[in-house]
Amino acid sequence: MNASRQANRPARRHALRAAVALGLMGALAVPAAWAQQKYPDKPIRLVVGYSAGGGVDAVARLLGVRLSAVLGQQVLVENRTGATGLIAADLVAKAPPDGYTLMMGDSALLIAKLLQPKMGIDPLTSFKPVAGAFISPLMIVTGNDFPAKTPAELVALLKAHPARYSFATSGVGTVQHLGFEMLKQSTGTFVVHVPYRGAAQIVPDVIGGQVPIGVVSATAAMAQAKAGKLRALALMNTAKLEGAESVAPLADALPGFDVAPRIFLLAPAGTPNDIVEKLSAAVKAVLETPEAGVAAAAQGTLRAYATPAQLGKDMAEETTRWKRIITEQHIVADGG
């Protein structure tokens, strides 16, 4: 009996060690899974690179308050202005990749890297795509006495009179600017760019005749267009916007033409996939509600949910498109 016990001791010790090892593994694994299930267990910062009241800020707050209800934790919008959103982007890119610091980014971030290649972050590698959220339709507006009234007439007019007309945008390298450069490139026309410092004065100057063509957000133009003070000549994107159903898309004259700033949610690179997927699903749930559609339309935006994978693809394709326009049209950050 004693001999049998002695013979079994090594086997017992081996079994005991295995049990202890498994127990330790379980002790390590359970808290990790538990931590993932608990996310989020504290408020989330949603950083915006623009001042309060602007377009991106407005939809960030629209999304944030509704995400708070879905996630069970407050999503607090934080404005970090400066350098066309790059200060905010730098802050988020360097934040811990734990899902508690996010950025509401837009197409301007993609363009900034192309015009300022030495900037320290890369939108395609410094962040992890979380979800596409909105697009912000752009509108081409003119004075009421402008010779063209439709997209086809606009294209024909610009081709017939190179360099006669000018167009105003909110600045060099904006989506408004590059979108119209795409129009010029697509039609072989030449139109002088007049960059403004922001969009506030463009509509009044179009109404007053100081500049014949303006490229602005749909919300900046529709009230004046409905009042008969200017002409909403074309939308630069193909999706219809509530309140602007009568405005024809530029694609009527240029098939396939579709330009609109994209607004999306980003997390620092390295954020765990399960957290990203949970956040993305929450964004999707919010955007699918009728209330979100109404609120988005009130801000002049359209819901445009995209999964993390699709958003990453869209960002890469958009970057390629802007790079081509910037290169071929010789656009630089400090000029036009």
Tell me: the pLDDT tens digits for 67-83? 999 999 999 999 999 88
Q: What is the pLDDT of residues 224-282, one digit of tens each?
A: 999 999 999 999 999 877 778 889 999 999 999 999 999 999 999 999 999 999 999 99
Question: What whole-number distance in Å separates Cα of residue 229 and Cα of residue 206?
Answer: 9
Contact present, 48 and 80 (Cβ < 8 Å): yes
Neighbour order of strands in the sheet with 231-235: 192-195, 166-169, 213-217, 138-142, 231-235
Residue 181: pLDDT over 70: yes
pLDDT of residue 136: 93
